[in-house]
């Protein structure tokens, strides 16, 4: 079920479909190790001077853009989206920016997993039962996703019987 009672597509379903399409289109596309600015510039043999002139910055600034787009020693890229947009424009390109799920094929699968864990934890806290019964299928939450699903799971505390470790009081207690 991917729509509410009024026949409108729930926003999360529409977003998941868009991201699934993008993920399918890009396949295993990864950002080049030295970044897109460097990759496109060197592959097309575009001079630094040309990009700098169109971006109205110095050649050194374009080199700094390339350096900040490449991962640092911690694997982080320091370039801003504004800088990428400026470089893309100067290279007659368009910056397209989006995120897709890392491990699950779709956003709905990520959400379903979170909602199921949330419902299971909620049922566990209501009563301890061996067979958990999900009160609502995950897709019924799509119109009103509880924020609590994004919280880290709380550790479950076990009750431990320590009575076997305690020595019973002696029967012969002196007066």
pLDDT of residue 3: 42
What is the residue extent of each domain of the chain? 11-90, 107-160
**Which DSSP category does 7 fall into?**
S
pLDDT tens profile 4-51: 444 455 777 778 888 888 777 777 778 899 999 999 999 999 999 999
pTM: 0.61
CA distance linking residue 137 with residue 10, whole number of Å: 15
Nearest Cα residue to 124 out of 150, 160, 155: 155
CA distance linking residue 142 with residue 107, whole number of Å: 11
- CATH assignment of 11-90? 1.10.260
pLDDT of residue 1: 42
Low-confidence ranges of the chain (pLDDT < 50): 1-7, 128-134
């Amino acid at each position: 079920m991917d729509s509410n009672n009024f026949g409108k597509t729930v926003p999360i379903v529409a977003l998941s479909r868009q991201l699934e399409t993008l993920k399918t289109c890009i396949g295993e596309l990864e950002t080049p190790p030295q970044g897109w600015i460097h990759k496109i510039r060197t592959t097309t043999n575009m001079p630094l001077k040309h990009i700098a002139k169109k971006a109205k910055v110095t050649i050194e600034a374009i080199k700094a853009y390339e350096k900040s787009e490449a991962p640092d020693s911690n694997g982080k890229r320091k370039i801003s989206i504004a800088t990428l947009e400026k470089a893309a424009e100067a290279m007659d390109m368009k910056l397209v920016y989006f995120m897709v799920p890392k491990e699950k094929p779709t956003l709905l699968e990520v959400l379903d997993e979170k909602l199921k864990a949330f419902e299971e934890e909620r049922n566990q806290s209501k009563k301890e039962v061996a067979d958990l019964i999900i009160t609502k299928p995950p897709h019924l939450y799509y119109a009103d996703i509880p924020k609590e699903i994004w919280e880290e799971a709380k550790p479950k505390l076990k009750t431990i019987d320590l009575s076997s470790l305690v020595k019973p009081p002696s029967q012969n207690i002196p007066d």
